Every structure is written in C-alpha cells, then in structure tokens.
Amino acid sequence: MNAHATKQGGGGAGLLSLLARIRPALNFITALAVTFLGLLAITFFIGRVIPIDPVISVVGERAPREVYEAARKAMGLDKPLIEQFLIYLWQVLHGDLGYSLLTSHPVLEDIKRVVPATFELATVATILGVLTGVPAGVIAAVKAGRWPDHIIRVLGLIGYSVPVFWLGLMGLLLFYGKLGWVSGPGRLDIFYDGVVPQVTGMILIDSLLAGDWGIFKNAVSHIILPAAMLGYYSLAYISRMTRSFMIEQLGQEYITTARVKGMSERRVIWKHALGNVMVPLITVIALSYAALLEGSVLTETVFAWPGLGFYITTALMSADMSAVLGGTIVVGMVFVGLNLFSDFLYRFFDPRAKL
C-alpha cells in the first residue's frame, strides 16, 4: 500500500514535469485552435450575410420553386446559422471539407489540385524576388544617394505601381507573342497534361521525379513569365526593406570597428551587416511569400493559372462557402506555418532568441 503510494507520488511528479515541458506546446495548440476557430467563424458568417444566394448558384434563377426549396434543404440552409456552423465544424474535425457547389468535386480534392499550382508559382517567384531583391537592396544601401540607388528605386517604384494585369499582358505579348522565348498561358502545353504521375502536384518537381526532362523544360517555359512578374513585385518590396535595414546597420559602431581593423569592405557588407539584417528580412520575405500565395488572382487570370486565389475568388462570388472555407483553412495554415518557420529561423540567426 505504502509502496504503491510512493510510486504514485513519483508518477505525479513525473507528470508535472512532463506537463511543464509540454506546456508551451499545449499553449501553442490552444492558440492555434482558437485562431482557426475564429478564422472559420468570421469567414463563415461573412459568407452567409453577403447578399448572394448560394442556392441560386446551384439551381439557376429559373428553377421552379420546389426545386429551389429542395436544394436549399439539401444544402442545410434551412437550419439556423449557428447550427449550420456547428455542423460544418464537426465535419471539418472529421476531415470532411464538403463538396464544392461549383466544381462538384470534394473541396479537399480541389485544394489538392489548386494549392500546388499556387505554391509552385509563389515559390519560384519568391526565389527570383529574393535572389534579385536582396542584392539590389544591399547595393542601394551601400551606394545610397548615388545613381545605382536611384535606378533601383525607380525600378522598385515601377514594380509597386504598374498594375500586374497590364504588366502580365505586356509580358505575354512581348516574350510569348513577339519573341517566342516562353510558352503561353497555362501550366503546361496542353498535350503534356496528365503525362507525369502526380506526386506533389508541383509539375516542376513531379517531372524531375519522373525523370522527364522534356516536361520539366516545358513547365519552366510556362512558369518563368508569371513567376518573373510576381517576383518583380517581391523584388520591389524586398529591395526597399533590405535597403533600409542595411542603411541602419551600416551606421552602427561595429561596422566602423570592423573597417578600422582592416576587414575587407565586401566582408563587412555581405557578412557582418547583411548577417545582422537577416532576422527582420526573413519576416519580410515570409510575409511577401504568404501574400503571393493568396493574392495573385490577377496574375492567375491573365496566365490561366489554376491556383488558389482564383479558386477562392470564384467560390466567394457564388457563395460556395465550403470551397471558400476550405481555401481559408489553407491560407490560415500557410500563415501559421510561415510564422513558425520564421520563428525557427530567428532562433537560428539571432542567438538572443535562444535565451
């Protein structure tokens, strides 16, 4: 009996210490659950109060009244709003995102189709944006007030202010229509569609996995222009932010010290100053990446790119709420994921964050 009690006490202490250890994780999960619940609730209720009748989207405006009523009932719209939301929540918790009204496919299947397309485009665009934007920003900071700075500023301003729709069309006209350097709208030449087996849904990766160099090349020739257009926007933002972070760093005393100690200028700028800029810069890059994931509707339209932005927008216009909510969950997950990732990188780059 006594022994048993002792054992139990030991177990309690172990549990406590375990609890203490997993407490941050529990906190995180609670915060995550609340975030998602809030996100879903707000999207759901906004979707239900917008003056678009989802039943009309399905049955058309000429449907006889009994057809309309039957569809309304089948869609569960005759139930109180809160009950509809709880039913939806229950289904989501069981991994069922429902069927899209507009595509007749399960939302999960739609998402598996559109998310990789957007993910691929945004990733290539961000890589292009970072590879050009960071060096441009550094150069602009080092040569602040001189002509390279001015050129980069003007380029950035154009990137900010020219409508992406127009830029995309002009890009297509020049590089596809006139010069023939790239392929036209769409993710692949249509005859290649469905040739490589879908693994990730990202054609660049799937074609490499299948070892099909021809399809990879074709996919590149399709993605390069829309990615460059989107990348240009990232470039504009990333280079401006890099410039201001760098100017701040280059004025610090440790930079002067490094220079006095005879360190090469290249090392001072690209290693010491840029190294310290990385932490805020990662947030900037992560945010611009997230924005590309959901906000490239116009680019998707011009380039006939079947992505998430286009999917959510068309669904919203027809009050196809299962599709909108499914898309919202993905976007929410992307933001949470990117935040976690940049937190992780913070710890990596900034020793203070480990404390």
Partner 1 sequence: MLKQIFYGAASLAALIAAGATGSAAQAGTPADTLVIADKIDDLITLDPAQSFEFSGAEYNLNVYDKLLAFDPKNLGPLVPGLAASWSLADDGVTYTFKMRKGIRFHSGNPVTAKDAAFSLRRAIKLKKTPSFILTQFGFTPENVDKMIRATDDETLVMVTDRPYAPSFVYNCLTATIGSIVDSKLVMEHEKDGDLGNLWLKTHDAGTGAYKLRIWKPNELYALDAAGDYFRGKVAMKHVFVRHIDESSSQRLLLEKGDVDIARKLTPDDIAAIASNKDLKVENDLKGRIMYFSLNQKNKILANPKVRLAMKYLVDYEGMTKSFLRGQYVVHQAFEPLTYLGELKDNPYHLDVAKAKSLLKEAGYPDGFSVKIHVRNAQDRLEIAQSLQNTFGQAGIKAELVVGTGKQTLTVYRARKHDIYMGAWGPDYPDPNTNADTFASNPDNRDEAKLTGKLAWRNAWDIPELTKQTKAAVIERDTAKRAQMYVDIQRKVQKDGPFAIMFQKIIQSAMRKNVNGFVTGGAISNAHYWTVTK
Task: For CA atoms 157, 245, 225, 313, give the dihedral sign.
Answer: negative
| DSSP summary character for residue 106 | B
354 binds partner 1 (CB under 8 A): no
Binder to partner 1 among 4, 8, 64, 354 (CB under 8 A)? 64
Task: Calculate the alpha carbon distances from 174 to 157, 168, 178, 222 in Å.
Answer: 22, 10, 5, 14
Binder to partner 1 among 13, 66, 93, 163 (CB under 8 A)? 66
303 binds partner 1 (CB under 8 A): yes
Neighbours of 282 (CB within 10 A): 20
118 binds partner 1 (CB under 8 A): no
101 binds partner 1 (CB under 8 A): yes
108 binds partner 1 (CB under 8 A): no
172 binds partner 1 (CB under 8 A): yes
Binder to partner 1 among 32, 36, 48, 70 (CB under 8 A)? 70
348 binds partner 1 (CB under 8 A): yes
Beta carbons of 54 and 77 less than 8 angstroms apart: yes
49 binds partner 1 (CB under 8 A): no
- b/e map 123-142, b = 16+ CB within 10 Å: bbbbebbbebbbebbbbbbb
301 binds partner 1 (CB under 8 A): yes
Beta carbons of 268 and 282 less than 8 angstroms apart: no
Helix axes of 213-250 and 274-294: crossing angle, nearest 10 degrees: 130
130 binds partner 1 (CB under 8 A): yes
211 binds partner 1 (CB under 8 A): no
Residue 135 C-beta: closest distance to partner 1, Å: 10
Q: Which stretch binds partner 1 (CB under 8 A): 17-25, 84-92, 168-176, 242-250?
A: 168-176
Binder to partner 1 among 163, 191, 211, 260 (CB under 8 A)? 191
- b/e map 205-227, b = 16+ CB within 10 Å: bbbeeeebeebbebbbbbbbbbb
Q: Which stretch binds partner 1 (CB under 8 A): 14-22, 156-164, 215-223, 235-243?
A: 215-223
Report how far residue 6's alpha carbon sits from residue 13's, in angstroms, rounded to the nearest whole number: 11
Q: Which two three-digit tokens encode residue 16?
A: 């406590």
| Type of residue found at 105 | H
Nearest residue (CB) to partner 1, 128 versus 329: 128
Contacting residues toward partner 1, per CB under 8 A: 51-53, 56, 58-67, 70, 100-105, 110, 113, 124, 127-128, 130-131, 169, 172-173, 176-177, 180-186, 189-191, 193-194, 204, 216-221, 223-224, 275, 278, 301-304, 306, 310-311, 314, 345, 348-349
